[in-house]
Amino acid sequence: MPRTIKALAISGLLIVALGAAAVAWIWYPWVFSPHYTIHVATGPIGSAGQKFNAAFKREMADEHPRVRLALEESGSLQQSAEDFQRGKYDLAVVRSDHPAAASGGTIVILRRIALVIMVPANSRATSMADLVGKKIAVLEGTPDDDPLLRTVTDFYSIRSSEIERIALADLGAAFKNKRLAALIATGSTGPGVVADAVKAIVKATGKAPRFIDLGTQEITAQNPLYEEMTVLPGAFLAAPAVPAEELTTVAVAVRLVAKNSMLNDVAGEITRLLLSTRAKLAASLPQAGQVEAPETDKKGVLRAHPGAAAYLDGTQESLFDQVMTQLFNFSIIGGVVGSLALWLSGFWRKHRPDEIQKNLARLPAMMREAKSAPLDQLGAIEDELDVLSGWLLERFVHEKIAPDRINGVAVIISHIRLLIERRRKSA
């Protein structure tokens, strides 16, 4: 019995050790490898997302030399999002209105793309209702199937026949000659497409365009992937300040999304590093100043990655704490397995055929034979008793039979020998 307990204890320890090694191999693969590579889809070459990730790659190399960011440029955000959905990348820059944003967890929000509607300074239009049926332009380069553009035009019942494409170089003259009633543009605040359009209009007309407020609450209520955005004065041009006052419009967030299988501590560390270095990156890359943490509540349509949420909420466990937690879990599992093994061992011993009982079942018959068998057969009975006595002694030495049990058997064997001896004396 003690040897059985010792063997079970050793087996339990081996189970715990192997379990801990398996957890480390699956959850912390970099422990067994000199490098841990994260594949990132950055969007088109020269885009804000590609530049930002290239700058962040250098920061990551300085902070974590063993972690490598493998950046891969794609033709568009649409392409990188589709590749991310197919499992090609660990991280990708995607828009909130693409299904890929919901197929992973958000690490950070890189920037927001706002949709603005500009009209000439002397235009009488004050709302979208004033632009119905009039000539509205969209800058060339804006995709025809842009979801944000399509959502706004559908909301205000603007037909595609009422929209024309215009090159940035022709925009100023079109506003000056009053050939256009309005321009729809999408882009981030600061330097970019919208700022370039404002500059072209100011240069050609000498006046800054006005902006039309949108019914953002109604649009975002119907399309929860979009959000209301307040554009501050001077967001597109500092002098003169454009817009001249706060502007409320609708926007879509551009997110850095990680696949769900990314380790929580890796996602948390990437989040920490992105947020802690954005000020440094903004010195050479102004777009980095727009990086912000995602919402960590679970009420939103798009959720933050659990690792990012744990870091932002202050609930992220250290590597030591995680390992100790897993060891504790495996110790519990090992204890349960050990207890089950002990129970099975006892059940088996209780219900299996008892070898000792089987061998001792011959004793009653031997006692009857000792009383009635011919004298010439008594020697065979004694030989059988000698074999049985040797067998019992061997098991007693190896602690396979209890002392109280062997004492009872020894009394029976002695009684049979006494019967044999009496018959011989009588003869």
Better-predicted residue by pLDDT, 47 or 130 = 130
Condensed to tens digits (0 to 9), the pLDDT of residues 297-311 reads 766 778 888 888 888
Q: What is the chain's percent helix, strand, coil content, to nearest 5?
A: 55, 15, 30
Condensed to tens digits (0 to 9), the pLDDT of residues 376-421 reads 888 888 888 888 888 777 777 776 777 767 777 788 888 888 888 8
Residue 384: the pLDDT is 81
SS (H, E, C) 232-253: CCCCCECCCCECCCCEEEEEEE
Q: Which CATH architecture has domain 41-316?
A: 3-Layer(aba) Sandwich (3.40)
What DSSP string runs through 392-405? HHHHHHTT-S-HHH
Q: Which of 9-13, 190-194, 281-285, 341-345 has the lowest mean pLDDT?
A: 9-13
Contact 115, 149 (CB under 8 A): yes
Element of type H or E holding 117: strand 104-119
Instruction: Say if residue 1's pLDDT is above 50.
Output: no
Instruction: Say if residue 105's pLDDT is above 70.
Output: yes
Dist. CA 96–CA 87, nearest whole Å: 18
Confidence bin at 251 (pLDDT 50/70/90): very high
- The mean pLDDT of the chain is 79
Q: What is the pTM of this model?
A: 0.65
Residue 320: the pLDDT is 47
Dist. CA 71–CA 321, nearest whole Å: 32
Contact 34, 41 (CB under 8 A): no
Alpha helices (H) along 164-302: 168-176, 193-205, 216-222, 264-282
What DSSP string runs through 123-150? ----SGGGGTTS-EEEETTS-TT-HHHH
Give the up-direction half-sphere exposure of residue 291: CA atoms within 13 A in the CB hemisphere: 28
- The residues spanned by each domain of the chain are 41-316, 353-426
